[in-house]
Amino acid sequence: MTHRSRNCRAAISAPARPRPGGLAAILLLVFLAGFLAPVAQGEYQIEVIKQDVIAIRLPPLGGSEGAEATRILTQDLEQSGLFRIVASGGDHGIEGSASASGCQCKVFKSDGTLELTASGSGDLRRAVHRVADEIVAKLTGRKGIAQTRIAFISDKSGKKGLYVMDYDGAKVQGFGTSYSMVVAPAFSRQGDKIAFTAYRPVYPDVLVMPYPGGKAQAVSTYPGLNSGASFSPDGSRLALTLSKDGNPEIYTLSAGGGGLKRLTTTRGGESSPTWSPDGKRIAYASDEGGRPQIHIIPSSGGRGARLTSSPAYNTEPDWSAESGLIAYSSMRGGGFVISTINPEEEKHEGDVVYADGSCEDPSWAPDGRHLVFSRTVDGHSDLYMLDTYRKEAVQLTRDFGNCTQPAWSGR
């Protein structure tokens, strides 16, 4: 069976949504005007959005750390999907230097006029990521993702634990080692809090931890299941699954605990809630109608409505605050593919965006373009970052146990 993806329409429409980028965003559309080409992934034909990108020269940066900084900056700019590094010519050129104390760069137009000065201090990787995001912001009007983080679960220590890494897989840091098991992390959109499920030691509770550090506070410790928390856009509330009233249902509560509100009342099981960009709706997986499908319910209460109806098993929705698309895990032939759907369209089946290996639990980057998910091959799981326009995935974790349940930070 050949599946013809229709994701071109949804993905192209994403940059056209109004946003504070203003004129710069409109100018970017000129750059992004492109064409489509299908690539094959297993039995699927997946549309790639070919687009013109900004050609930029990046001769090796000077200074004691110039070589490493050049490598990091090249990767940041290329993985943004917005730039192409060229050896000569190009629309812009970068000059600069890097040392153990930071990185400074100047960007020139092709006629030699200075366009911007960008700098970062402290840790070299973080300093270069900052420079990359400044270049992305100035030349494209968009916010880059080079300074974002990804929380995830790894069983490297012999039990599942919480870790956070930079968006490129570097600088992995572990948290919460005192719990018998940690699962289902979620970053706040502001990037200042992480919610997670911890078995302490037997029963699963939901805790909220300040990021980058601080004492975790238990916010949901009801009998039965407490899991799958997701922050509202302003970070003030959590949506999660509780079974305290006799069946796993979706509830919301204050991110500091209390103020509990029940949303769903079904005979099935509900899981993986995720908030709409404006916080007025919550998407979740429910098997109320038999097999699990993506549903949407008003966050203030009301009736849940089914969004997807095909194929037979769709779970783990993640709603992009930037593009408005919902990414989710979709079972095909015993494994999973990553699909996206625009909930504002009259559609009941999403578009496959990645189908190589079995992939689960997608989480959007704040740019609304990149996804991180776990990919399992021969029983081993690692995290991959996908550019949903180019349909190219890069491996983020290696030799770090099984890595699953990634959650991208906000800005």
Distance, in Å, from the CA atom of 63 to the CA atom of 15, rounded to the nearest integer, reads 37
Report, in Å, the least distance between residue 324 CB and other proteins. 22
Terminus-to-terminus CA distance in the chain, angstroms?
Answer: 40
Nearer to other proteins, 87 or 202 (CB): 202
Show Cβ contacts of residue 305 under 8 Å, excluding neighbours closer than 6 positions: 295, 296, 297
Nearer to other proteins, 18 or 379 (CB): 379
ω into 201 cis (within 30 of 0)? yes
Report, in Å, the least distance between residue 45 CB and other proteins. 22
Q: DSSP characters for 28-46?
A: HHHHH-EEEEEEEETTEEE
Distance, in Å, from the CA atom of 373 to the CA atom of 330, rounded to the nearest integer, reads 13
Report, in Å, the least distance between residue 297 CB and other proteins. 10
Distance, in Å, from the CA atom of 317 to the CA atom of 339, rounded to the nearest integer, reads 9
Contact call for residues 154 and 401 (beta carbons, < 8 A): yes
Nearer to other proteins, 51 or 188 (CB): 188
Nearer to other proteins, 66 or 269 (CB): 269
Report, in Å, the least distance between residue 87 CB and other proteins. 44
Q: Using alpha carbons, list the distances in angstroms from residue 220 to 45, 206, 280.
A: 44, 5, 22
Nearer to other proteins, 108 or 199 (CB): 199
Binding site for other proteins (CB under 8 A): 160, 181, 183-184, 199-205, 217-225, 227-228, 241, 243-248, 253-254, 256-263, 265, 267-272, 285, 287, 289-292, 301, 312-313, 315-316, 329, 331, 334, 336, 360-361, 379, 404-405
Report, in Å, the least distance between residue 288 CB and other proteins. 8
* Local structure of 297: helix, strand or coil: strand
Nearer to other proteins, 20 or 290 (CB): 290
Report, in Å, the least distance between residue 220 CB and other proteins. 6
Contact call for residues 239 and 250 (beta carbons, < 8 A): yes
